[in-house]
Structure 1
């Protein structure tokens, strides 16, 4: 991939502001994600992490810039952003409860796509629990299985960039490892991941760069090693 191609495939967010009604939640967030990179967005509850994802996906009132493949996408319809190759896994999971695992996964396939880099076989290999429950309605799955299903359904659309919000929340350690390995597999295939997390250990383990949000602004940007050494940032903006 040439330097020009990398720039065209990058996600660049600049001066992002977002509101819920009169509440000014994001106050000038800057971040970027390069191809084949896992970038973590950390911070305490209420810092604006999920709002950042929702603003990028056109789900809340926002202004600023979100450049993806050289085009401005901020403020466009959520469905158009998804069709442009940006996948979103919300914290709420949002599976279709009356549909089976297989039916949920089928809904994630992008229409008109000739092929996908992420297949049903990939899902079964990464999450064998889902294969065993392929014909089970989603409402009968455990919370961890629903999280795996939500993630896998988004991956069936073959996004070039995945925004995933709190994928390890409430999961048992074994399932946390499965999710981490899944995100690393995406990275190894040249996909990009913006990982919104509260768990510092997972973010430090799989991310190449990290941002820390505090009061709607970026309080830290750097490598995992830099954050490990910055006790003040961890104390003031991450640790409870």
Structure 2
């Protein structure tokens, strides 16, 4: 049986969960991008152009903004709304910057084992499009907190896969990175089960979208149409 919870204890559970997830996302990004971005001033690595620096700054700022969920649990709705506006601005910037980063990575020959760089470009581009889709849906449902916050979480999960793919032992294996990102979805499901006694359907649907996007992107990346599009963008 599910133990009844009071509104106060439920709010505390939400605060702990969302704060913990924000920290987990930050750690994931730090581990993935430390060699090429966060530790760049003290470690020799290939130079980055200005858009890549801006993308790193914007993406890090987005992760820091996830603390707004914890602020809502503390009834700081006024601050949540102000941070929400900043979140919209950051999300709008992340989309074109993410595409530019994907093109730059393909130009440098970044790939996963068994794929050409032009074909692999579909993975970061797909991550950007999934982020845009989940965030757009979250914005549309901003007056429905139960839906809104889960969509924000799914948007962040879809954007974190490039960081996971750069973990040393993942080594740009895109499908493995996607599978590992589902750990965050599983964490959301467990939180739902413990706090609500049931899992919200959005986690099931969103997790399925993330899972199926792996083979879907791999199939698209090997088509002549995608190769032509990617070559046009890179060259």
TM-score normalised by L of structure 2: 0.32
Higher RCO structure, 1 or 2 (CA under 8 Å, sep 6+): 1
Give the greater-gyration-radius structure (CA).
Answer: 2
TM-score normalised by L of structure 1: 0.31
Which has more helix, going by share of residues?
A: 2
